[in-house]
Amino acid sequence: MTYRKTFLIFNPFAGALRNGRRERLLAKSLGALQDSGIQAEAVPTTGPGTATAIARQCVESGADLVLVAGGDGTINEAVNGLVNSHVPLGILPAGTANVLAMELAIGKRLERVARALPQCVPERVAVGRLTNRLTPRGRYFLLMAGIGLDAHIVYGLSASLKASLGKAAYWAGGFSQLGRRFPEFTIETDGSRHRASFALVARVRNYGGDLEIAPRISMLEDEFELVLFTGQSSFVYLKYMLGVVTRRLEGMRGVTILRTRRVSCTAPDDSRIHAQVDGEYAGRLPLEIEIQPDALTLLVPPGFRERRPARVADPAWTTSPTR
């Protein structure tokens, strides 16, 4: 496919573009794109949230391809500017975790990914949409929404710590929760009600770039994989983490995995339960999350559709006891 008007939105503060490497990496990536016949105009973000407006401006100016060099947060912002358009989104991973790059199996080296980009093919995919008091018009997400534990970590994570430690900052934030008690909240989906202290509403298998919590979901499906964890003690999460690392989470007591297209979450009156989407803070409960089919065109590697994980037909295939 030939692209005639391409924009490259880049985050100057993304992990791979900091510390004096920005000009060299961007120049190499732009050169690799040009060698492949893609002439891209580079546009920097100027602060949190600005990639959304830039992506919208690219669409309005007649772009036929928008590339994003940054982390999952910058990609999320661009998704919110591209959603419901037909302008393809391509990514050049340059962030802390690069969950989307892991899901697509495209690698982490900007120049190499840029050279392979012309072989990628467009796929229409669904996205999630979260609405609450902070985002009454909705915040779209491509990867996942987290409610409870992981969102509390994101909420308390300082930008300076994330910049200095990278992915390790999230691990540090997680282990700092040991000894705390996590409030449970109510999740309603498909006519059933559940309690959890952490809920993951996933569109991808990867979590944090190198772990799998929702092992059978695919971005090509118009559903979420909803993973619920019960228990108020922080120490029970050591057991859950072991289940994730050993890939034995399915069937573990206290864990329920469901398929759904819509989720509603409410909290006790005295609890402040946070939410995150694609690793970015997204406000507090109450909230609603629903699938938005056919919402975004994403460039994926050839053969990506054939790599879809197998799925068992029984919709209750992984429901386990919650107590």
The DSSP H or E segment spanning 114 is helix 110-116
- Cα–Cα distance for residue pair 247/249, rounded to 1 Å: 6
In this prediction, residue 135 carries a pLDDT of 94
In this prediction, residue 134 carries a pLDDT of 95
Q: What one-character-per-residue DSSP string does 246-272 give?
A: TT--TT-TTEEEEEESEEEEE--TT--
- Cα–Cα distance for residue pair 58/87, rounded to 1 Å: 9
In this prediction, residue 18 carries a pLDDT of 59
Per-position pLDDT tens, the chain of length 323: 789 999 999 988 776 565 556 678 888 899 999 998 999 999 999 988 899 999 999 999 999 999 999 889 999 999 999 999 999 999 998 877 789 999 999 988 888 999 999 999 999 999 999 999 999 999 999 999 999 999 988 887 645 555 554 555 554 555 556 657 899 999 999 999 999 999 999 999 988 767 899 989 999 999 999 999 999 998 899 999 999 999 999 889 999 999 999 999 999 876 799 999 998 999 999 999 999 999 999 999 999 988 877 554 433 333 343 33
Domains and CATH numbers, the chain: 6-119 (3.40.50.10330), 127-292 (2.60.200.40)
Tokens at 295, concatenated: 């919402």
- Cα–Cα distance for residue pair 124/63, rounded to 1 Å: 17
In this prediction, residue 296 carries a pLDDT of 98
In this prediction, residue 121 carries a pLDDT of 96
In this prediction, residue 211 carries a pLDDT of 84
In this prediction, residue 13 carries a pLDDT of 76
Cβ neighbours for 176, distance < 8 A, ≥ 6 positions apart? none
In this prediction, residue 12 carries a pLDDT of 83
The DSSP H or E segment spanning 288 is strand 287-300
Q: What one-character-per-residue DSSP string does 22-53 give?
A: HHHHHHHHHHHHHHTT--EEEEE--STTHHHH
- Cα–Cα distance for residue pair 273/286, rounded to 1 Å: 8
